[in-house]
Amino acid sequence: MSELTIDKVTLAFGGLTVLNDISFSVEAGELLALIGPNGAGKTTVFNCISGIYRPSGAIRFRDRDIVGLKPYEVAGLGIARTFQHGELYGRMSVLDNLLTARHLRIRTNVIGEILRLPSTRSEERRHRDVANQALHFVELERYRDTPVADLPYGVQKLVGFARAIAAEPNVLLLDEPSAGLTREEREDFAHYILKIRDQLNIGMIWIEHDMQMVADLADRIHVLDYGKSLADGRPEDVLRDPEVIRAYLGTQAGP
């Protein structure tokens, strides 16, 4: 069974059809790249999965239809995501940012927190350890206590990524993680993406504009164009597809 299945999903705002009969799925340990021009509906797909929009059709996590669940309920199933902009809390330290992703797993209540009971403290400590492991995974330990706003852009992007991992997700949605990064930082990112797939066996849907990254890393590519599925398959096939070249890649195509 697939980890996450998008089954004939359609979304319309007023008279405007934003997504038109989209279908694809991702397996555990699979890296699926979602590509297409701006406005093709890539981020909209993510918003449907995470419960911000309510499309028609089905979105299944394992065998459960999750359409209609609230965003925090979707997150509770272990579907984590990163955002393109503004996802981190600048004044909070890196570690506290990671801890926000553990909200659902931390079992403390307001009374215990106000009194800072021993049980509250030990629970906090336990989750701090998990967050530290996520930091270790992307090798950012040295920034643990730094407020995020004070970090260079490339490091901030990695913190957003680490936060998604800190949730210990089953499925990870990555929204343009490499945008604005240098080649070198992209290479680091590539390393961590592969490390997640291989060591944690998480299914990932990855929105990306860097076609070389996609060609080198993705297991499979799904192409969207103006809200429709245009192609789906292995990178070497999809990136040579004349339709995809016409609609998206243009002359600088090709891996």
Angstrom distances, CA of residue 41 to CA of 22, 45, 47, 96: 10, 6, 10, 32
* Residue 255 to residue 252: CA distance in whole angstroms: 9
Least distance (Å) from another protein to the CB of residue 185?
6
φ and ψ at residue 80, rounded to 5 degrees: -105, 155
Token pair of 25 as six digits = 């799925």
Task: Tell me whether residue 1 or residue 110 sits nearer to another protein (CB atom).
Answer: 110
* Residue 131 to residue 100: CA distance in whole angstroms: 10
Least distance (Å) from another protein to the CB of residue 207?
11
Q: Please give the angle made by the CA atoms of 54, 59 and 63, to the nearest 5 degrees.
A: 140
Least distance (Å) from another protein to the CB of residue 202?
16
Task: Tell me whether residue 191 or residue 234 sits nearer to another protein (CB atom).
Answer: 191
For residue 251, how far is the Cα from the chain centroid?
29
Task: Tell me whether residue 58 or residue 253 sits nearer to another protein (CB atom).
Answer: 253
Maximum Cα–Cα distance for the chain, whole Å? 65
- For residue 45, the one-letter residue type is V
Least distance (Å) from another protein to the CB of residue 19?
15
Task: Give helix then strand counts, H and E, for the chain.
Answer: 10, 10
Task: Tell me whether residue 6 or residue 88 sits nearer to another protein (CB atom).
Answer: 88
Least distance (Å) from another protein to the CB of residue 58?
20
Order across the sheet with 220-225: list the strands.
Answer: 79-81, 171-175, 203-207, 31-35, 220-225, 228-233
Task: Tell me whether residue 58 or residue 92 sits nearer to another protein (CB atom).
Answer: 92
Task: Tell me whether residue 1 or residue 184 sits nearer to another protein (CB atom).
Answer: 184
4 and 79 Cβ atoms separated by less than 8 Å:
yes
- For residue 89, the one-letter residue type is Y
Task: Tell me whether residue 8 or residue 52 sits nearer to another protein (CB atom).
Answer: 52
Least distance (Å) from another protein to the CB of residue 187?
5
Least distance (Å) from another protein to the CB of residue 173?
9
* Residue 73 to residue 237: CA distance in whole angstroms: 37
